[in-house]
Structure 1
Amino acid sequence: MWAREDTGVPRWWHVVLPVVIVTLVGVFQLSYRDAGGWNPPNSWQIFVYASACLALLLRYRHPVAVASVTVVLSATVPVIHPHTVIVDAPSILALYTVARHTDRRTAWTLGAAAAVLLTAGSAWWLPGHLANIRNILPANYIGIAVAVGDSVRANRALLHQAREKAREAERTREEEARRRVRDERIRIARDLHDVVAHHITLVNAQAGVAHHLLDRQPEQARQALAGIKETSRAALDELRATVGLLRQDDDPPQSRQPTPGFAQAGALVDSFVSAGFDVGLTSSGAARPLAGPSDLAAYRILQEALTNAGKHGTQHRAHVDLAYTRNHLELTVTNPARAGHGGAGTGHGLIGMRERAVSSGGSCTAQLRSDGLYEVRAVLPLRTSDATAG
């Protein structure tokens, strides 16, 4: 009851000060006479009016009960002679509190009942009774009190709703920011996995070739070692470009490298060939650019498929087939394989390929075929404008 309101003003001021004002107004009205004179109110008037005013101190805790008591007491005042009260201030304050702190139906129902009782009380003492024009006063000031209280309640409810929406919007923005950070971490983790797995596989194959040829064909071994150097340099460049995504906006531009795209697929295949892989490449249909997400996805899927061929295949041989249709690029990589034969792996590469394909609007499947070939097949969308034009 005595807590502080949203305005920062102590609640007890809101409780006590209006009651003091209502009491002063009541004393003025009870003392006034129609003839213009002033007489002190009698003890019964003081008792009834004081009881109504004291009840108002509890109006925040029990608004309906206090309003009911106040209206009943105010309706009995006209019975006590002499009576000249025109506007019943305690009832106005009580009904305003009901309308502000309860629902609309309760406020207007109680207001209608109060209008009937107070109108009947006015007709009791007014000259001419029901024919006196002042009989309409109770209905007027009660209607105003309930309407103002209901308006204040509605405005406070709208303000509360607006604040809740603002808090919900803030929570939604924070959740969206966390989701984007999480998605970006997953994407960077995929990139790191693809880069490291690809280049380490090539380095391992080139090191094996160099070790095998070191004694009998040192010149070819030297070329294999040179390939290791080139592959490791490329790995560092791609790692630097990937980690560069984590840099700040004010970092120097030269610290950032462009993200690889499918236009570099030929260089990617050549890097495997130089490491001793036999990679065949066929293409059908008119080659066209891929959509932005599909461009990187196609490159990474091809990279991971060839890496898996080197790690898990039964031979250092693979075939890449590119089929351009009206709306899509069908990328198929096959290599000799058999069930139960494969290197160490966690399965993250296959998961990453599927995630990349799905995120770009395509699909990716991987399976061991009955003819002894392991097939990775990705279907990725071309650029919208190109697909539409076709």
Structure 2
Amino acid sequence: MPLTCTTHTAPANPRPEPPATVAVVAPSADLHDAVRSLHHQGTPCLAITLPHRTRPLTATDEAPPGHYAHTVTHHSMRRTLAALRTHGVRTVVAGSAHGIDLADQLAEQLGLPGNTPLTSILRRDRAAQADALALAGIAAPLQVRATGLRSAIRWATHVGRPTYVIAPADTSAAGPARTCRTHGQISLAWGALRRAAHRQTGDRHLVIQETVPGPHYLLHTVSHAGRHRVREIWCETRTPGGLADRADRVSGTGLLARALTLYLNQALDALGITEGAFRSRIAYPPDRGPVLLATRLDTTANLLAATTPFGPPRRETPLPTTRVSLIARHDATIAPQALRAITSLPTVHHIEGETLYGGAPVSRTVNRLTCPGTLVLSGGRRAIEADYRVIRALEDQLFAGPER
């Protein structure tokens, strides 16, 4: 019987699938480092820029060369969707507040995880947020959205509170809110805030609301598939002029953290948030309980959350931590000797801010975008308090260089 030989042909190696692309809608400048890092890790990003006519005056959603694998300018849903399918997009995120609406629509059309477009406004408008909370029976500040000064003063007269807070309706606006006691103060703040709101967000609407007493807490959250996780809690202190002064980390295991987390979980559900990273400011008057003042997109954390597993919360550092926001009272340059004296303090752990170096020009601090930098202090509480006082004492010398 003749022997037979059967030849088995090894299957050709299947062609590896290209890495899934992340689409970033209306990317802001503060995303550039995160996008570059993702590129080095093998995750390409595609930028979707908006037409110039639809952008706010100060929008920076330009995709710099080398950061994004592709750039698509949005002109129509059909063309943009076709481009995203061509490039194998598997994740869509908003790269700034004015990209929220389009990101929600694109994710829904592509069948990708995202928030429903029906509630997009609730993720960027503080008046809509307060209305949604009140409708759900969740504590919210008394407020009204307006463009006209007369209607704002009429509402303040009707409500009869001792003080009011006026802020842009769009939560992405960087300028500090104004606290007003009289109709005259409301009038003075109204025009300047309307102009700032229009420049930064394209929306002239302002919100006037009651002043909610008590300490303010800033909660950083990540949501996925309707589940919310609080990553960090900070107790924030501001200057009398409304500028950021310092933020002290709050332990995530105490009764305070539990009360804030339970309240915020309900609030995020009411705002229709099922995906993404956000920062929420909550006031906590002792006789009233937590009250959400505003929730805004956390752009860098939002991109990173969309590209990392939704795992357990990271372990907290055992040491107290404080973030000190530097304040320049006028345009100047940074004095190198004063900077060395500050950064050599025992509890100064690191610096946040690319422009914080000797000889660097700085602008007068008027909002969070013009903050020259942040010092992160870590150590014993007494040591942190001592170094904080030294930093404030040296601040005038730090920004005493020649004005630009």
State the TM bucket, normalised to the shorter chain: under 0.3
With normalisation by structure 2, the TM-score equals: 0.18
Higher relative helix content? 1
Higher relative strand content? 2
With normalisation by structure 1, the TM-score equals: 0.19
Larger Rg: 1
